[in-house]
């Protein structure tokens, strides 16, 4: 098991390196840079632009250097905890992101926990009560959740919250805590407001996971070892939990790696609709303004979170299914 874990961690290193290169290339793809965008905004407002000042700023920020040198400076600083300087906010990136990374992590983690808690029992019930009224009803709700975009569900909840309760369900905390440092009162306020974005972001992922768990469990319940166990008189609950459920959990656990990007990408648009102080709105604004260090730091954080999620799912699969460890040559 130890060698399997070391192997998976070693695989992460070139993966993150390749992601960093792709992130840098994607950020540099639009023509111009932050200063070009800044000049265009000033000219659109009718303000004079000093070319000498722009050239000075380009040299100061290192934007006049070759791309490969800019990449080395960016990735080298990131390895020692220096995420660069945000041009738009005129502050170090680590100061700009502040609580946004923390809130994004908490929101993503809570959404995944919500997805598991809801999808697991419903998927088991649908598989063990195939074609019942409950199965049909839950299948309909699942397809409805898959077909409804997250941002549309957020808009519907905002409307009904205003019409029925006379209040806005947007935001992730009470207004008085927006610019305050993290405290116990602020943490409790975040917990009070978190259920709405968690439900909105987790709906489609929950619906999809219910369908996958139901399909996998139905396949296992039709196999010969289950028929034999029933013929020998084993209790239905023991027949279910002994082997079929364990076998059906493999895709369920493996979906962690697929669920994280889905949660993160869905959270970006939902954060704009619900006015959530997470990484999504700031990332979109940084990409629009070509604030390369801020955008690159956000993208690397999200990519690292996804890679770590895949690593955790691989470890959980190895613990759950010995065939993965044995098949990988870890134990002989």
* Angstrom distances, CA of residue 100 to CA of 26, 66, 182: 23, 31, 11
> Considering 71, 96, 121, which residue would you say is the last residue of a domain?
96
In sequence order, the 6+-apart residues with CB closer than 8 A to the CB of 261 are 306
Residue 1 lies in a domain: no
Residue 3 lies in a domain: no
- Domain CATH number, residue 139: 1.10.3720.10
Residues of the chain with pLDDT under 70: 1, 32, 42-43, 48-50, 53, 60-61, 166-168, 257-266, 325-332
> Same structural domain for residues 42 and 25?
yes
> Considering 47, 79, 96, which residue would you say is the last residue of a domain?
96
Using left for φ > 0, alpha for ψ between -120 and 50, and beta otherwise, residue 47 falls in: beta
> Same structural domain for residues 120 and 61?
no
Distance (Å, rounded) from C-alpha 216 to C-alpha 58?
56
Q: What is the pLDDT of residue 28?
A: 78
> Same structural domain for residues 161 and 284?
yes
> Same structural domain for residues 81 and 162?
no
> Same structural domain for residues 196 and 168?
yes
Residue 69 lies in a domain: yes
Residue 332 lies in a domain: no
Q: What is the pLDDT of residue 102?
A: 77
- Count how many domains the chain has: 2
> Same structural domain for residues 219 and 131?
yes
Distance (Å, rounded) from C-alpha 137 to C-alpha 196?
23
> Considering 80, 96, 112, which residue would you say is the last residue of a domain?
96
Q: What is the pLDDT of residue 327?
A: 62
> Same structural domain for residues 124 and 46?
no
> Same structural domain for residues 209 and 109?
yes
Q: What is the pLDDT of residue 220?
A: 85
In sequence order, the 6+-apart residues with CB closer than 8 A to the CB of 12 are 307, 308, 311
> Same structural domain for residues 250 and 227?
yes
Residue 7 lies in a domain: no
Percent with pLDDT over 90 in the chain: 1
- Tens of pLDDT, residues 160-175: 877 887 666 777 777 7
> Same structural domain for residues 227 and 81?
no
Expressed as residue numbers, the domain containing 244 is: 99-327
> Same structural domain for residues 78 and 110?
no
Residue 163 lies in a domain: yes
> Same structural domain for residues 309 and 322?
yes
Residue 68 lies in a domain: yes
Residue 4 lies in a domain: no
pTM of the model: 0.75
Q: Please give the full DSSP string across 111-130, using - where no structure is assigned.
A: HHHHHHHHHHHHHHHHHHTT
Q: Please give the full DSSP string across 263-329, using - where no structure is assigned.
A: HHHHHHHHHHHHT--SHHHHHHHHHHHT-HHHHHHHHHHHHHHHHHHHHHHHHHHHHH-HHHHHHTT
């Amino acid at each position: 098991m130890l060698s399997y874990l070391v192997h998976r961690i070693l695989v992460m290193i070139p993966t993150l390196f390749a992601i960093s290169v792709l992130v840098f290339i994607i950020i540099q793809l639009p023509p111009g840079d932050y200063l070009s965008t800044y000049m265009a905004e000033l000219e659109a407002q009718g303000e004079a632009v000093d070319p000498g000042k722009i050239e000075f700023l380009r040299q100061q920020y290192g934007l006049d250097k070759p791309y490969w040198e800019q990449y080395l400076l960016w990735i080298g600083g990131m390895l020692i905890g220096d995420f660069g300087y945000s041009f738009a906010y005129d502050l170090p990136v680590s100061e700009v992101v502040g609580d946004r990374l923390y809130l994004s992590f908490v929101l993503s983690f809570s959404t995944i926990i919500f997805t598991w808690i809801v999808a697991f029992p419903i998927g088991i019930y649908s598989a063990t009560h195939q074609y019942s009224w409950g199965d049909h009803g839950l299948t309909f709700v699942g397809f409805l959740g898959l077909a409804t975009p997250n941002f549309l569900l957020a808009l519907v909840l905002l409307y009904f919250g205003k019409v029925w309760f006379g209040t806005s369900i947007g935001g992730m905390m009470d207004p008085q805590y927006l610019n305050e440092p993290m405290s116990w009162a602020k943490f409790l306020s975040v917990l009070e407001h978190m259920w709405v974005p968690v439900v909105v972001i987790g709906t489609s992922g929950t619906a999809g996971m219910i369908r996958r768990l139901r399909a996998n469990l139905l396949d296992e319940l039709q196999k010969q070892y289950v028929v034999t166990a029933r013929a020998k008189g084993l209790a239905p609950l023991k027949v279910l939990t002994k082997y079929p459920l364990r076998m059906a959990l493999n895709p369920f656990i493996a979906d962690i790696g697929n669920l994280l990007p889905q949660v993160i990408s869905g959270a970006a648009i939902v954060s704009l609709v619900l006015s959530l102080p997470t990484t999504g709105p700031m990332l979109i604004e940084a990409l629009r303004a070509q604030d390369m260090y801020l955008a690159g730091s956000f993208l690397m954080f999200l990519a690292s979170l996804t890679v770590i999620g895949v690593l955790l799912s691989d470890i959980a699969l190895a613990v759950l299914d010995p065939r993965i460890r044995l098949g990988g040559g870890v134990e002989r």
